[in-house]
C-alpha cells in the first residue's frame, strides 16, 4: 500500500509573510512545517504575525500567523550570520 506524505502549504497571507522573511539578507530558505488551524500566536506578535520560537543549528524554528491559524516554519540561515539575521527577523 502506498503511503502519502503530509501536505504542507500556506494561504496568501502566509505566502506574503514568507516572502518578506526570505528577502532578509542571510536567509537561505524557509521550510514550511505543520499548519495548526484555529490557533493564534498571541496578542504580543510582531506586525508581520511572526514569532521566533528557538534558535537551532543552521537557523531558527518560528511560527507565522495566517488566516487559517498558525504555520510552523524553519528559517535556514548562513551559520556565520545567525545572530545578525535573527535580530533583523525580530524587527520585521
Residue 92 has pLDDT above 80, yes or no: no
Q: Could you tell me the pTM of the whole model?
A: 0.77
Ranges of each domain in the chain: 12-90
Strands (E) located in the chain: 27-37, 50-56, 59-66, 69-77
Residue 91 has pLDDT above 90, yes or no: no
**Joined grid coordinates for residue 16:** 506574503
Residue 45 has pLDDT above 70, yes or no: no
Question: Per-residue confidence at 46, pLDDT binned at 50, 70, 90?
Answer: very low
Mean pLDDT of the chain: 80
C-alpha to C-alpha distances, 74 to 3, 56, 60, 64, 84, nearest whole angstrom: 24, 9, 6, 11, 17
Percent of the chain with pLDDT over 90: 30
- What is the pLDDT, as a whole number, of residue 42? 60
Amino acid at each position: 500500500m502506498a503511503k502519502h506524505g503530509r501536505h504542507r502549504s500556506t494561504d496568501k497571507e502566509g505566502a506574503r509573510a514568507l516572502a518578506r522573511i526570505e528577502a532578509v539578507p542571510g536567509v537561505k530558505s524557509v521550510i514550511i512545517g505543520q499548519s495548526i488551524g484555529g490557533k493564534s500566536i498571541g496578542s504580543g506578535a510582531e506586525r508581520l504575525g511572526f514569532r521566533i520560537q528557538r534558535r537551532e543549528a543552521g537557523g531558527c524554528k518560528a511560527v507565522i500567523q495566517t488566516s487559517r491559524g498558525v504555520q510552523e516554519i524553519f528559517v535556514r540561515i548562513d551559520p556565520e550570520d545567525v545572530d545578525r539575521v535573527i535580530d533583523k527577523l525580530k524587527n520585521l
